[in-house]
Amino acid sequence: MDRWMLITLGIALVICAALAVFAPAAHAGPPLLCYPFQIDDAKSLPWGSGGWRAPAPGYDLRRLADDTLALLGPAVPVIVRMETLRRAAVYATKDRQIAAHLLGRLEARMHHAEAAGKPDALAIFDAGYLIETYKQAGLPEVLRGATGTLDGYAMIRKAIEMRGPDPEMEFAAALALADNRSQDARTAHLRKALASAEPGSRLAKNLITHCHLVGIRANTLAEMRSQLGSPKI
């Protein structure tokens, strides 16, 4: 691990830990990085047992891009993709070349589909979501090497437009805006996610565990809907 990446990871760790202690009313640390998603027994990158910053000991970083893309097939649910990309970003903070290679592979997959005349909403989502996660992880030098837009949120929105109503992507878009760039847009995404969430579903579990990151305190979907004025579809 080079000195630059060690500093980057250290900054991310300090932000996540310090804000969790001193700012409980706001989102505590980068939401796309510091808060694991519940994926039950779905397959993702190997992980340790120490929380959000616990990569598996001995994992070969050279495998990161190949392993990540293999876990992002077309049948993989969006929230599982989000957790895989979160883990990948944590691993990527250890090595800037590997971080850049991973982003490059995701962008290449997206561009290849577009060049073939078959734009892939999931490929666009994955690249956009990783870009937003890298931003929150403090990886500006890696993002400068991107081959397309650096507006990952716009890419997530494009994926939603292409894919049609997708409450899990709406949830992802809301978290990407947890930095208060646009509270109105964030609330709109959250309402759309809530509208289709069923009690006990993977989406419902993650909405409840992550809602404090967007300024909501609730223990049930009903409480969230009451605060947001979001009806159930």
Q: In 194-224, which positions are buried (b, 16+ CB within 10 angstroms) versus exposed (e)?
A: bbbbeeeebbbbbbbebbbbbbbebeebeeb
Read off the pLDDT of each residue in 137-158 and give the average, rounded to a whole number: 84
> What pLDDT shows up at residue 5?
47
What is the per-residue pLDDT across 213-227, written as a single tens digit (0 to 9) for each?
Answer: 888 899 999 999 998
> What pLDDT shows up at residue 14?
47
Read off the pLDDT of each residue in 146-163 and give the average, rounded to a whole number: 89
What is the per-residue pLDDT across 38-63, written as a single tens digit (0 to 9) for each?
Answer: 999 999 999 998 788 888 999 999 99
Q: In 100-132, which positions are buried (b, 16+ CB within 10 angstroms) versus exposed (e)?
A: bbbbbbbbebbeebeeeeeebbbbbbbbbbbbb
DSSP H helical segments within 35-77, as ranges?
Answer: 64-70
> What pLDDT shows up at residue 7?
46
How far apart are the C-alpha atoms of 28 and 46, rounded to whole Å? 25
Least confident of 33-37, 142-146, 149-153, 192-196: 142-146
CA torsion 54-58-63-65 (nearest 10°) is 10
How far apart are the C-alpha atoms of 2 and 8, rounded to whole Å? 10
Q: Categorize the per-residue pLDDT at 138 as very low, low, confident or very high, splitting at 50, 70 and 90.
A: confident
pTM for this model (two decimals): 0.86
Token couple for 93: 């903070």
How far apart are the C-alpha atoms of 90 and 139, rounded to whole Å? 11
> What pLDDT shows up at residue 45?
97
Residues 126/83, Cβ–Cβ less than 8 Å: no
